[in-house]
Amino acid sequence: MAIARLPSVVIDCPDPSALARFYGALLDWKVEVSSDWADVRGEYGQCISFQQVEDYAPPEWPSQQAPQQMHVDVVVDDLDAAESAVLALGATKHEHQPGANFRVFLDPAGHPFCLCAD
């Protein structure tokens, strides 16, 4: 029997509301915001949370000078269409692209995330 249920990933960032809006639009999930915390929630209980951190420093990927605090992989049907959509939301395509069936981007707070071909 599980000790806990409905795990949530919590991501450090300078502006929880802005980052929640980005991921809420990316996933089409509901955005819930408070003063220094925000959540995005899926239909079936999935949740990603964002907490405000003073003096936030983004990771430097692929270098580990400032290591990744996390990254999210999401599956997409069409890499090109998904790339256009995330760029329109405020993502940045990273110059280092190590694979052919996925693409690496940075969210508005600098966290790497990958669009992965289905």
**19 in any annotated domain:** yes
Residue 3 lies in a domain: no
Contact 76, 115 (CB under 8 A): yes
C-alpha–C-alpha distance, residues 71 and 107, integer Å: 10
**What pLDDT is recorded for position 108?**
95
CATH number at residue 104: 3.10.180.10
Q: What is the distance between the alpha carbons of residues 51 and 104, in angstroms, rounded to a whole number?
A: 23
Q: Does residue 2 sit within a domain?
A: no
Structure tokens at 97: 């692209």
Residue 35 has pLDDT above 90, yes or no: no
What is the tally of structural domains in the chain? 1
Residue pair 90/100 in contact by the 8 Å Cβ criterion: no
Residue 70 maps to a domain: yes
Residue 44: its pLDDT value, please?
85
The pTM (predicted TM-score) of the whole model is 0.78
The string of DSSP letters for 77-112 reads S-HHHHHHHHHHHT-EE-S----SSEEEEE-TTS-E
Q: 25 lies in which domain range?
A: 8-54+63-117
